[in-house]
Each structure stands twice: as structure tokens, then as C-alpha cells.
């Protein structure tokens, strides 16, 4: 399983680290904007500003090869943002056609991490 991720404040990276302890055989790869991926996988990112896609994520996804190999997108956010909570996931789905898997609070609760893993293993 390949999990690609973008993290600025560390929340998304902490989410991936929680998964790594449970699934050490999975591949967790922090993206950079110019990276080109070769394996199908799932994407985790964060929401910036007021419900925006991070520039690093947007540049990475503009490479058609990358966006076509991603089976889902999930985003972290802060529930205090109300309607803008983890909105980057919705905007990525709209712009790149990558289905939203989930939205999670900050670095994710144990339940959110477990649900994410279960979904990936069962679909």
C-alpha cells in the first residue's frame, strides 16, 4: 500500500506515523511539488488559509500522472473552521476528480486512523 502525503505543521505526518506503527509494511512517502509517482496509492493533505488547497499539493497534483494514480484524497483540518473544515479534500475532488475518502481533525484520533486503515484494506 502506498500512502503519499503533504504536511506543513506536522498534523498529517503524525497521522501517517500512527498508521506506520500498525502497518509497517506500507509505504509512506512525503511528496514534494515536482515529484512524479509510479505506484497507485492514496493521498493525504491539509487545508490551508480559508479552505484552500496547499500550493505544494496543487503543484504535485497538476502532474496528470500523479493525479491519475491516486485512488482517494483525505484532508486534515480544524473543526473550528466550521464550513471550511478540511475543505481542501472537496476542492481536490472537484478539480482533479480524486474521490474524497475522509476528513480528520488535526492529526487524527485513534478511531479515525483505524477507520482509514480499515477502509483501505477493505476496498
Summarised one tens digit per residue, pLDDT across range 53-64 is 999 999 999 999
Structure confidence at residue 77 (pLDDT)? 92
Domain that holds residue 8: 2-106
* Residue 115, domain member (yes or no): no
How far apart are alpha carbons 58 and 39 in whole angstroms?
A: 19
pLDDT attached to residue 19: 94
- Provide the CATH number for the domain around residue 96: 3.40.50.360
Query: What's the pLDDT at 81?
Result: 87
Domain count, the chain: 1
pLDDT in the model for residue 50: 87
Residue 120 within a domain: no
Residue at 74 is within a domain: yes
Q: Is residue 117 part of a domain?
A: no
**Is 114 part of any domain?**
no
Residue % of the chain over a pLDDT of 90: 86
Is 32 inside a domain boundary? yes
Residue 61 within a domain:
yes
pTM exceeds 0.75:
yes
Q: Give me the pLDDT at residue 108, please.
A: 87
- Nearest-CA neighbor of 51 among 11, 95, 104, 89? 89
Residue 113 resides in a domain: no
Amino acid at each position: 500500500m502506498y500512502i503519499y502525503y503533504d504536511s506543513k505543521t506536522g498534523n498529517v505526518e503524525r497521522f501517517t506515523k500512527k498508521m506506520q506503527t500498525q502497518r509497517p509494511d506500507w509505504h509512506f512517502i512525503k511528496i514534494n511539488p515536482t515529484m512524479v509517482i509510479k505506484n497507485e496509492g492514496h493521498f493525504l493533505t491539509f487545508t490551508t488559509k480559508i479552505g484552500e488547497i496547499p500550493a505544494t499539493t496543487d503543484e504535485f497534483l497538476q502532474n496528470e500522472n500523479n493525479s491519475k494514480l491516486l485512488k482517494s484524497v483525505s484532508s486534515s483540518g480544524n473543526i473550528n473552521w466550521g464550513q471550511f473544515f478540511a475543505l481542501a479534500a472537496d476542492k481536490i475532488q472537484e478539480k482533479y476528480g480524486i474521490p474524497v475518502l475522509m476528513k480528520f481533525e488535526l492529526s487524527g484520533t485513534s478511531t479515525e486512523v483505524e477507520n482509514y486503515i480499515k477502509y483501505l484494506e477493505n476496498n
